[in-house]
């Protein structure tokens, strides 16, 4: 059983939902990332999503674009990101880490070389934003062979035929993008998401996380009522953008509030 699967099963048994924070690796500086990962876990994170900086983050809004730019000023590469995960694993062997990014850095390294290095570093899953199932056959085969969970996106626009295709290839969990748009967009409509999740659940037997538009404890709680996992990204990256002073403490505090609210979602 993969680390993601086991965390998800334990949560399900406790009738709790996964809290999945996202930060960009190397933002604001390479030295801060491992400490921030631990701070997120201290705040109640169940799984960490770590953004791999890319020069052309087409699917991201301004907040995460700027995070990528800050990291790239330090020339943070995919190999560096794997080194941060390896360092994190020295003291944390239980929290799954998912890398989220764009296809080209992985392509440049090569699927085999990447998967081997990722598993060695302690990475659990990979979400490649611009790699839909149609083009992912080869990479998914390699990732699964090495024990990496391929995480896929589903969108409000995704039709039945494509949900089935994603269900066939995905493992770990799927990430439902609650809005048409880029990361950091406006607030989500919970009723609308609930309806869509009912539709998706017919085809998926792995957990469904929801992201885009979750900005505070209240919206996280509302999503926790209907989804298996809550993903928070831009809101945390905004916190990073406020400056390094007390950053780890601020992230822990913010997530703790979210965690507490989520844990009242289904009582």
- 91 near other proteins (CB under 8 A): no
- Catalytic residue status for 60: yes
In the complex, the smallest distance separating the C-beta of residue 254 from other proteins, rounded to whole angstroms, is 26
- The reply on whether position 24 binds other proteins by CB under 8 A is no
**Helix/strand/coil (H, E, C) string of the chain?**
CCHHHHHHHHHHHCCCCEEEEEEECCCCCHHHHHHHHHHHHHCCCCCEEEECCCCCCCCCCHHHHHHHHHHHHCCCCHHHHHHHHHHHHCCCCCCCEEEEECHHHHHHHCHHHHHHHHHHHCCCEEEECCCCHHHHHHHHHHHHHHCCEEEEEECCCCCHHHHHHHHHHCCCCEEEECCCCCCCCCCCCHHHHHHHHHHHHCCCCCCEEEECCCCCHHHHHHHHCCCCEEEECHHHHHHHHCCCCCHHHHHHHHHHHHHHHHCCCCC
- Choose the binding region for other proteins from 30-38, 84-92, 175-183, 222-230 (rule: CB under 8 A): 175-183
Residue selected from 31, 58, 191, 260 as contacting other proteins according to rule CB under 8 A = 58
Catalytic residue among 27, 60, 124, 149: 60
Interface pick for other proteins out of 39, 153, 204, 240 (rule CB under 8 A): 153
Stretch that binds other proteins, among 11-19, 21-29, 90-98, 173-181 (CB under 8 A): 173-181
Q: Choose between 147 and 181: whose C-beta lies nearer to other proteins.
A: 181
Indicate the residue among 57 and 122 with the shorter CB distance to other proteins: 57
Residues in the site for other proteins, rule: CB under 8 A? 54-61, 65, 69, 72, 75, 77-79, 102-109, 129-132, 134-135, 152-159, 162, 177, 180-182, 185
Name the residues annotated as catalytic.
49, 60
């Amino acid at each position: 059983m993969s680390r993601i699967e086991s965390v998800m099963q334990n949560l399900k048994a406790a009738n709790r939902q996964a809290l999945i924070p996202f930060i960009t690796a190397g933002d604001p500086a390479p030295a801060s990332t491992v400490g921030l990962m631990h701070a997120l876990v201290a705040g109640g994170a169940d799984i960490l999503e770590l953004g791999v900086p890319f020069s052309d983050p087409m699917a991201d809004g301004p907040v995460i674009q700027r995070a990528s730019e800050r990291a790239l000023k330090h020339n943070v590469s995919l190999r560096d990101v794997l080194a941060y995960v390896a360092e994190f694993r020295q003291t944390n062997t239980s929290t799954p880490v998912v890398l989220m990014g764009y296809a080209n850095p992985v392509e440049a390294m090569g699927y085999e070389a990447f998967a081997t290095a990722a598993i060695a570093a302690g990475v659990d899953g990979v979400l490649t934003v611009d790699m839909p199932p149609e083009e992912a056959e080869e990479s998914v085969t390699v990732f699964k062979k090495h024990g990496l969970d391929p995480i896929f996106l589903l969108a409000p626009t995704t039709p039945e035929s494509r949900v089935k295709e994603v269900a066939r290839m995905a493992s770990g969990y799927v990430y439902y993008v609650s809005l048409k748009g880029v990361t950091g967009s406006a607030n989500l409509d919970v009723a609308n998401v609930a309806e869509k999740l009912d539709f998706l659940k017919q085809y998926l037997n792995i957990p469904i996380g929801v992201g885009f538009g979750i900005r505070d404890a209240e919206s996280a709680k509302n999503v926790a009522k209907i989804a298996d996992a809550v993903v928070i990204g831009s809101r945390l990256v905004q916190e990073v953008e406020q400056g390094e002073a007390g950053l780890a403490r601020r992230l822990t505090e913010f997530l703790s509030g979210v965690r507490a609210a989520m844990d009242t979602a289904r009582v």
